[in-house]
């Protein structure tokens, strides 16, 4: 496996990182080695202790990664490289299995760190919004047992004047009304029990496959496919870094 980030991708990453106050970016080679170390963990899903020495001592790399995650730097990174096509957006959620080592961090319980029990076992649910080309816009996390629609209003609160594609799980009158109040057009099929089904453009709705394709892409990163991280910020950090790399492909 090639564990090096291409020059083109690195130049875009470095350009963004140099603009953040408080980051030590003067030593470009050391910074690149750190980023490639995180890329290695993200791709392989290996334990921090098994990180090759080339990238630095695993404990120092882990400590720096955690600090960046807590500051929201990985989220800012994804935003900085994005070029959103918001004529249409899609919302959906996917479940990932969580390893037993992910539990036990919070005194408030696992749910405080977006962990829960679902039919799939011990899981986290990734809620995502992607643009009209299937590229990520934003994420949030809950325990795997939470309903998809619980995060919809928060994820889409900034959307205006756009098509919103979603499956039947998002057919809720309060949610539909909220979208319309923001001049958004819901392309969301009605549930079977509805007496007067909503008319939608089926050709437009077919484009919803793009968010399923996105979930397939992001789960190629082993550190996203399975959750090993105890905290929301650490797991979201890997998700946002993966999202940034997908944008730069």
Residues 72 and 151 in one domain: no
Three-state SS across the chain? Answer: CCCCCCHHHHHHHHHHHCCCCCCCCCCHHHHHHHHHHHHHHHHHCCCHHHCCHHHCCHHHHHHHHHHHHHHCHHHHHHHHHCCCCCCEEEEEEEEEEECHHHCCCCCCCHHHHCCEEECCEEEEEEEEEECCCCCEEEEEEEECCCCHHHHHHHHCCCCCCCEEECCHHHCCHHHHHHHHHCCCEEECCCCCCCCCCCCCCHHHHHHHHHHHHHHHHHCCCHHHHEECCCCHHHHHHHHHHHHHHHHCC
Residue 123, pLDDT score = 97
Are 125 and 212 found together in one domain?
yes
In a domain, 44, yes or no: yes
pLDDT digits (tens, 9 = 90+) for 25-83: 889 999 999 999 999 999 999 999 999 999 999 999 999 999 999 999 999 999 999 99
For residues 31 and 102, membership in a common domain is answered with no
pLDDT at position 3, please? 61
Please indicate, yes or no, whether residues 204 and 124 belong to a single structural domain of this protein: yes
Last residue of a domain, one of 81, 105, 134: 81
Domain boundary among 34, 50, 81: 81
| Pair (11, 34) in one structural domain | yes
Asked if residue 102 and residue 154 are part of one domain, the reply reads yes
Confidence label for 135 from pLDDT (cuts 50, 70 and 90): very high
Q: Which of 42, 65, 81 is the last residue of a domain?
A: 81
What domain range includes position 216? 88-229
- pTM reported for the whole predicted model: 0.94
pLDDT (tens digit, 9 = 90+) per residue, 182-224? 999 999 999 888 888 889 999 999 999 999 999 999 999 999 9
Are 66 and 133 part of one and the same domain? Answer: no
């Amino acid at each position: 496996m090639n564990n090096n980030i291409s020059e083109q991708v690195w130049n875009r990453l470095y350009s963004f990182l140099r603009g953040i106050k408080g980051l030590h970016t003067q030593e470009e080679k050391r910074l690149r080695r750190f980023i490639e170390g995180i890329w290695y963990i993200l791709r392989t899903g290996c334990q921090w202790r098994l990180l090759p020495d080339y990238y630095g001592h695993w404990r120092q790399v882990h400590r720096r990664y955690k600090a960046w995650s807590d500051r929201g730097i990985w989220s800012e990174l994804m935003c900085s490289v994005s070029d959103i096509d918001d004529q249409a957006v899609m919302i959906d959620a996917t479940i990932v299995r969580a390893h037993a080592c992910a539990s036990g961090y919070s005194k408030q319980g696992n749910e405080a760190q977006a962990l829960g029990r679902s039919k799939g076992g011990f899981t986290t649910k990734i809620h995502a919004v992607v643009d009209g080309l299937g590229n990520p816009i934003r994420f949030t996390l809950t325990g795997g047992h939470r309903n998809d629609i619980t995060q919809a209003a928060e994820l889409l609160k900034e959307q205006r004047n756009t098509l919103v594609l979603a499956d039947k799980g998002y057919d809720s009158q309060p949610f539909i009304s909220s979208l319309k109040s923001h001049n958004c057009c819901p392309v969301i099929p009605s549930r079977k029990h509805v007496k007067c089904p909503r008319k939608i453009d089926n050709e437009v709705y077919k484009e919803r496959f793009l968010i399923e394709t996105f979930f397939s892409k992001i789960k190629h990163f082993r550190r996203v496919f399975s959750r090993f991280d105890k905290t929301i910020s650490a797991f979201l950090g890997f998700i946002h870094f993966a999202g940034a790399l997908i944008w730069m492909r």
